[in-house]
Every structure is written in C-alpha cells, then in structure tokens.
Amino acid sequence: MISIEQLSSEPWGTLPGGDPVRLFTLRNAHGMKIAISDLGATLVSWHAPDRAGRLGDILLGHDTPAEYVAATTYMGGLIGRWANRIADARFTLDGIEYTLDRNEGANLLHGGTQGFHRALWDVSEDNGALIMRLESPEGDAGFPGNVTTQVRYSLDDDGTLTIDYEAITDAATPLNLTSHPYFNLTGRPGADIRGHVLSIDADRFFEVDAALIPTRLAEVAGNAFDFRQSAPIGARLDWPHAQLARAGGFDHCYVLGEASAPGIREVACAYDPGSGRELTVFTDQRGLQFYSGNALNGNKGRGGIAYQPHAGLCLEAGGFPNQVNMADEQDAVIVQAGDTYRQVTRYRVGVRSGV
C-alpha cells in the first residue's frame, strides 16, 4: 500500500470482467490534486485553483471505469504503442510488412482497439511519485517485439505534472507514446474552450487528408494555424480555412521549434482569461498535436454532462502522425532491441495575475 503523504489510493469500481480498478491521487502543498487510474494510466481529474483560490476540475472525464472502457474519446489516457494515426494500418520495417489493428476506418488510431489506454497497469511508488508499468506482448495490435513501458507521474509544488516515459523492446519496433488529457481551464462543467488564448512555438504544421493522415508540411504564417503569438481559439476556429473545415476544427500536428540545446523546452501555453488559469507545456519531443475537441458530440462525461464540440483541448506531445511511413523520418521512431525509448512532457498549471 502506498503510504507517502502526497500520494493516496482508493478503490474505483471494477471493469466489466470484474477486475478491480483504483484511483491514485497526487497532491502538492497548495491544494492542487491530480487523480490517476491504473486503468490506462489515465489522468482522471485535476483540481487546480483559479485566481481567487477556488478549486475547479480542469480535465474532462467520466465517472466510472466502465465508461472509460466504452468511450472512444481517449480522455486522459496513456496512448501506445502508437499515438495518433498510421495510414492503412500498416508499415514496413527491415523488409517485413506489418498489418495492424484497423480501428478507425482503414487506419490505426491511438494504439488500436485495445491500446494502452484500456489496459490495467501495475503500480508502485517512488518518493511520492506514481510509477506505472505495462507489458505489451509481441503481436499486440500487430506490432513486433515484446515491449515493457514505464511511466512516472510526479507533481511539484509549482503546479508541474511531469510525465517521464521509458520503454524497452526485444525486437526493432516503432514506438510513439503520449498522454491524451482534455483540458478546460475554466473549471466549469459544460463550458467550452473558445475563449482560451493559445500559443504554440511552431512555424509549420502537417496538412491532412479526409482521413486526417498528414499529406504535406505547410507554413503557419498568415493563416488560422499561426499561434506563434497568443491568439483566441474561438476566433481561429471561425476562420475560413479548408483544413479547419476538413477536420471540424484543429486536429493537426505542429512541428515544434528547435531548442537551443537538446532536451526539454517550453512549446505551448493556454490561458483562460476568466479564471486566470494558465497551462504551459514543456517537452523534448518534435511534434505537438493540437486537438480542439471537434468530435465531442454529446459524449457522456463526469456528472452526467454531455460534452459538446470544443468542450476541451488536447496538446499531445510525441512523434508525427504516420511518421513510421515517412521514408525520411521512419528511423526516428524505431526503437532497436536493447535500446530505451525515452520521452518527457510536463504540464504546468498556474494562475496569471490580472484580468
């Protein structure tokens, strides 16, 4: 049993097959608390203060484990083995073609039907941090190699949630992991994120086809996708742009600006003027998927809320969608036998002073 003061656990129902599910809560010295489940290593809730000190839940989510298993929105889930899409659910590695689980039309999305977000993870603690571990056998969703993944969640007193990923494999395989929280910084159930102000440190993004598979790199300059300077999301959603019409909003991967030195750097910031809450994203990854919750359409959420389009936003750090099929980019997402996949992403939530 975890006994660290900042980390507690409690039962959280069962899966349809009867397996018990637990909730683990990280706390900091300022009353912030984040609930994480061993089902999918899922970020279930994040209570953070506004500028008046009032706590509000800034994550979308569901009430029960069964609802998470049944949902197709990936709310808060740890995504693997492959975040985002792989075209035609296939790739070729070392001359062998692998066919994957087709769970979105002809494509693989977010690791397939039984991705990491629907698995029960083993849990331990490390000095107040939450350690989650998962064994993914060879052939899981069609991928080669046995993969062991470990994710470490830690919460600092400055409001920073750090997600440290590590994975090892016994055979060459593509890996692209991410976390999929839906943020709504208002902390108000039923509100949308149109009033949020967003910045992303990226000059380019991937345009997509009708299946949301990247087709080419495009410049953000002069169009709705330019968040190099902070801009309101709602106003940008209303811009006439063929890519926005195709996706129903933003569901595009940004190519992040290069850091002055290798390692983690600030890549995006979202701000809600009403509450004063500010979310800053740091990562060592090359891609950031900005998703504006376009496909939410009455999905049942926590407390019986029916989430509508743009009820939350996702900022998912990782590789590029379909990168394993990009001839000039494939090697960057292939982990060789005996090597270690590593990724670090931080979400910092604080309060901006003023109005």
Q: Is 166 one of the catalytic residues? A: no
- Which residue is it, tokens 């007193």? 157
262's enclosing H/E stretch is none
CA 279 to CA 46: how far, in whole Å?
12
Which residues on adjacent β-strands are paired with residue 197?
Answer: 232, 271
The backbone torsions φ and ψ at residue 324, rounded to the nearest 5 degrees and listed phi first, read -65, -20
**Host H or E run for residue 208:** strand 202-208
Q: SS3 for 354?
A: coil
How far is the C-alpha of 301 from the C-alpha of 278, rounded, in Å?
23
Residue 316 among the catalytic residues? yes
Q: Which two tokens stand for residue 42?
A: 């899922």
Of 62, 110, 310, 316, the active-site residue reads 316
**What does each C-alpha distance from 323 to 84, 215, 312, 332 come to in angstroms?**
10, 11, 26, 8
- 3-class secondary structure, 331: helix
- Which residue in 110, 117, 180, 310 is the catalytic one? 180
Say how far apart CA 311 and CA 182 lie, in whole Å.
Answer: 8
Instruction: Decide: 172 and 145 in contact? Cβ < 8 Å.
Output: yes
Residues annotated as catalytic are: 180, 316
